Amino acid sequence: MAISHRHSAACLKSMNTQSSSQLHIRAVHPDDIPALHELLTHPAIIRWTELDPTREYQQTVDEFQTAKNGVHRLVGLRDGRVVAYGRLHHLVRPRLQHIALPTFYVHPDVWGQGIGRRLFAALLDLADNWLHTWRLELPLMPDNAAARHMAEAAGFEVEGMMRQAVFGNGRFHDHMLYTRLRPPSAAQNHPTTPPPTPPVHIVDASQVLIRPAHPEDAGDVNAMWRSPLVARTTLQLPSQEIWHARSRVGEAPPPGGHRLAAEDNGRVIGLITIFQRQNPRLMHVGDLGMMVHPDYWGLGIGSRLMTAILDIADNWLDLKRVELEVNTDNPAAVGLYQKFGFEIEGTKRFHAFGDGRWADSHFMARLKES
């Protein structure tokens, strides 16, 4: 018996509603690990994500056997079977605590049945009504039409395109950064404050030594972090104590980390870092961060640090993409990065709070030509 298109669509809608209504959503439990491993290693899911196709079972055990600070995890069950997994990563850095990153995966056996929509809604409820996170970020591949449609239906908008963000299936893929903003009125009406003019320390920049970081640099690095001008243009705080610098600079860098310091007559007056992503599908990407003591701004120290770290990125690590974030109200830094080939890919609105204002940030990247 033939079924008309209209009747078929009505039947499908009824089936989807029924399947979705039978979904039970709860927090992750250790007993879910076998089903989660099956879900996170399914080729059809790996295709649209940053998941590692060589993930072993013990890696899944290690990920789910304990709670993670700032990470909230849910599973969707139908007939007792885990068919979906959702994660909300709440950023815990003090100046970014309004940001959360939702992610969800649905088993291909139940695609098109409304399960992803229900799980996504549960993550958004957690973000909106329990954590008060009002900037949500969701990177998606441009050809992932189903996820993009779901994000747009939930009020997400595109802020930019991150080029060659992930490698998989033999080629590089871009990421569209979808965000949903619900800033409180206090944030929307908050005045912006121009940065004060820094003092100038006369020095011959060509005589500044660029070298690897050393544990004894911790005191000078902490002094830079505590400078309000440095804190304003980074994500640091002027209240940071020496213990933070000692734990960061006094220990070996994390895997993939490379740090260079700028030294003037025994004083560290600049630091630049690049971290190569350790996910096998992201190892072509490096995250760059830099700071220079305000006494030395405008003297070419930043250019020397950039030259040195990009030599490492290009000629020793073979990074294809180097990316960074910079406040839109820091035109000197934006100009410096553009001089070294970085391009603005988009702008994160209400990205960070600091120095009495909500700062937008450009996300910029430099791609190495093959």
The whole-number pLDDT of residue 188 equals: 81
Can you give the residue range of the structural domain that contains 178? 19-184
In this predicted structure, the answer to whether residue 88 has a pLDDT above a threshold of 80 is: yes
What value does the mean pLDDT take over residues 116-136?
A: 97
pLDDT for res 337 = 98
Domain total for the chain? 2
Check whether 343 has a pLDDT greater than 80. Answer: yes
- How do residues 221-272 score in pLDDT, each as one tens digit? 999 999 999 999 999 999 989 998 888 888 889 999 999 999 999 999 999 9
- Asked if residue 28 has pLDDT above 60, the reply is yes
Are 269 and 339 contained in the same domain?
Answer: yes
pLDDT at position 22:
87
Picking from 178, 71, 75, 179, the residue whose alpha carbon sits closest to that of residue 122 is 75
Q: Is position 195 within any domain?
A: no
Kindly report the number of other CB atoms within 10 A of residue 178's CB atom: 23
Is residue 138 classed exposed, middle or buried when 0-12, 13-18 and 19+ CB atoms within 10 A define those classes? buried
User: What is the mean predicted confidence (pLDDT) over 337-364?
Assistant: 96
Average pLDDT, the chain: 91
Give the residue-averaged pLDDT of 135-164: 97
pTM of the model: 0.89
Query: Which range, of 15-19, 78-82, 105-109, 303-307, averages the lowest pLDDT?
Result: 15-19
- Amino acid of residue 217: D
Same domain, 230 and 362: yes
Of 104, 164, 186, nearest to 138 by C-alpha is 104
In a domain, 267, yes or no: yes
Looking at residue 172, which CATH number applies to its domain? 3.40.630.30
Are 180 and 209 contained in the same domain?
Answer: no
Q: Are residues 209 and 321 in the same domain?
A: yes
Residue 7's pLDDT band, with cuts at 50, 70 and 90, is very low
pLDDT digits (tens, 9 = 90+) for 50-61: 999 999 999 999
CB 345 within 8 A of CB 160: yes
Q: Among 236, 48, 67, 234, which Cα is nearest to 147's?
A: 48
Same domain, 170 and 66: yes
* 359 strand-pairing partners: 352
Q: Which residue has the higher pLDDT, 250 or 367?
A: 367
pLDDT for 20 equals 59
**C-alpha dihedral sign at 263, 268, 270, 271:** positive
Looking at the fold, whether 324 and 285 belong to one and the same domain comes out as yes
Report the pLDDT value the prediction gives residue 19, as an integer from 0 to 100.
Answer: 57
Domain co-membership, 209 together with 180: no
Lowest average pLDDT, out of 14-18, 83-87, 94-98, 109-113, goes to 14-18
Chain segment 181-227, per-residue pLDDT in tens: 999 988 887 767 777 676 666 677 778 999 999 999 999 999 999 99
Which residue type, as a one-letter code, is found at position 323? E
The C-alpha angle with vertex 97 and arms to 93 and 103, in degrees rounded to 5, equals 100
Strand 357-367 to 343-354 pairing: antiparallel
